[in-house]
Amino acid sequence: MKIRLFITFILLSLTGNLWAQGLPALERIEPMFWWAGMKNPKLQLIVHGKGIAQSSVVLAYPGVKLAAVHKVDNPNYLFLDLLISPSAKAGAFTINFKKASGNLSYRYELKQRDRSPNRAQGVTSKDLIYLLMPDRFSNGDPSNDVVASMRETTLNRDSMYYRHGGDLQGIINHLDYLKDLGATAIWLTPEIENDEPHASYHGYAVTDHYKVDPRYGTNALYKELVDKAHAMGLKIVKDLVHNHVGTEHWFIKDMPMKSWVHQWPQYTQSNFRDAAVMDPHASAADRKVMQDGWFDHSMADLNESNPYVQNYLTQNHIWWVEYAGVDGFRLDTYPYNDPAYMADWARKVKAEFPRLSIFGETLVWSVANQAYFTQSNTVNRGFDTQLPGVTDSQIKDAIAEALNGKEGWTDGVNRLYSVLAQDFLYQDATRNTVFLDNHDMSRFLSIVGDDFTKFKSGMAMLLTMRGVPQLYYGDEILMKNLSDPDGKVRLDFPGGWPGDKADKFTAQGRTEKENEAFNYIRTLANYRKTSTALQTGKLMQFIPQNGVYAYFRYDAQQTIMVIYNSTDKETTANTSRYSERTTGFNSATNIITGRQLSNFTQLTIPAKTTLVFELRR
């Protein structure tokens, strides 16, 4: 009997949570640990366990004060406000929960902050972001393909709506491929747990904010991915969803309070009309439906005006940066969030990590609508959003129009000119992320009708445009498909799975045309790594004439000329039109071919072709 009791004591001690007979187990405390030396001394712990609100709470640790204990609607919750003094040292202490039937204790730890210089270093216009979906990129560990304890246990690569088995180890295995391509940052669609019954592979229906989905790996493996990426000169962008969570989330299944999510008399979906947020004539009802309506039946809309929800989300995001050292955040569905909270969120995150980059998803219909959400655009708002940049869907649409459209006053290539002319609406347009496609839309090759010349032209614009360029996985090997209910824009990367017929991660596995596309992008991307003009230089554009459009990226060290023939026929352009930027240069080097032109006053440009030159004196 004594031996059995001793073994039981040891097992309970290893869990870090001890409970007396008759008191239910503590289910969780989040954040499960924190750090000494954070800028914000306030920390709010969410405590979940059956009947935990019946307990009194005691803790004692130098520099840590229990400032308040909040009971809420649900007796299974307590919220503990801690004040952590700057003098508090890293170490562990016990939080005791006492009630008549027995005591429960939790061993809480304050860790030492990691001050390594390559953590939270920011993603800027010097970078090229490679966007991938972990489930569809590469399966590096088949043993985690199916996790029996999770709600979805079907693995079917023949269906776009089931899981395919890609994981974090698969990404780690191909970091060298991304480095060779010229990428400098990797954006993963959310890798945290999505334990929904079906079609949750995309990651945008989180069910546990503090846990990597076990079908992708573990928290430790995610940190290992970040560390290995950093060692190779690659950065990591973490994808966040403030607006909603999966309906199977543990705190939705047992909500702390009714106001934790936006409640409606009956299911109400967002109207998805971002204009209602900024429209000075908007109906309050329309604005409410836009921001408080649910994204989907399976995605509960969080009430971000609730201070407990605010603290939970903000602390979780700070926790992931400090834990793993990620370099930037992409914010999903930005216009649907509570504006005042998002501004407060950004201030608190920036206070802890001044170099961390942040950009918000704004798939809207005008430049003004995009700019409205960005930093320092305070018109009709009364506060600064603190959002440095957005996903620049207007540039995306303008490049597609420049490649596919017929020239008009604001059509065809003039659309691109006009969109860039509105950069005055931003505090700094170079903080915007520019892209040609992503996981929610048609792939770029299909947008341009499988036209390889247009494809290369668009890629040239992407990699020479102002802002932070982002490439969608597989575009470099000519993956295609239009956005449709079949979800084929999210096909697996060929070669990422054992037994794939071809391995597109290698030159030997790619076709001649795929290698041409890969090498074209690789040449520009790697050139961009050392080009000060393309990274941080100014942009000057000239009004298109006769279908020819030119812009320049330049600084004191370098001048790059990008010129595009939008017509269906070869044309000759007289570069005297651009003397404002070309005077003093006597030769030009084609970045793709390496060919040097001793006389570039007359340029012959094939139809739908973009040429990129470095000008030389």
Catalytic site residues?
A: 332, 361
CA angle (306, 312, 314) in 5-degree steps: 100
Nearest to 466 by CA among 501, 421, 497: 421
Distance (Å, whole) CA 273 – CA 63: 48
The 3-state DSSP class for residue 140 equals coil
- Tokens of residue 458, six digits: 């668009």
The 3-state DSSP class for residue 485 equals coil
- Pair 243, 332: CB distance under 8 Å: yes
Radius of gyration of the chain (CA): 27
The 3-state DSSP class for residue 236 equals strand
Secondary structure (H, E, C), 56-113: EEEECECCEEEEEEEECCCCCEEEEEEEECCCCCCEEEEEEEEECCEEEEEEEEEEEC
449 CB burial (10 A radius; 0-12, 13-18, 19+)? exposed
- Tokens of residue 16, six digits: 């870090």
- Pair 150, 383: CB distance under 8 Å: no
Kindly report the backbone phi and psi dihedral angles of residue 80, in degrees, each rounded to the nearest multiple of 5, phi listed first. -110, 125
Kindly report the backbone phi and psi dihedral angles of residue 294, in degrees, each rounded to the nearest multiple of 5, phi listed first. -80, 150
Distance (Å, whole) CA 250 – CA 196: 11
Nearest to 191 by CA among 212, 177, 214, 161: 212
- CA distances, 58 to each of 64, 67, 338 (Å): 12, 11, 35
* Amino acid identity for residue 199 in this structure: A
DSSP category for residue 302: B
What are residue 565's DSSP bridge partners? 548
Kindly report the backbone phi and psi dihedral angles of residue 346, in degrees, each rounded to the nearest multiple of 5, phi listed first. -65, -40
Distance (Å, whole) CA 416 – CA 578: 18
Token pair 């295995």: residue: 173
Distance (Å, whole) CA 148 – CA 130: 32
Q: If residue 227 lies in a helix (H) or strand (E), which one and from where to where?
A: helix 219-231
- Pair 336, 363: CB distance under 8 Å: no
| 256-295 b/e (C-beta count within 10 Å ≥ 16 → b) | beeebbbeeeeeeebbebbbbbbeeeeeeeebbbbbbbbb
Nearest to 325 by CA among 474, 561, 120, 117: 120
Nearest to 560 by CA among 530, 581, 583, 586: 581
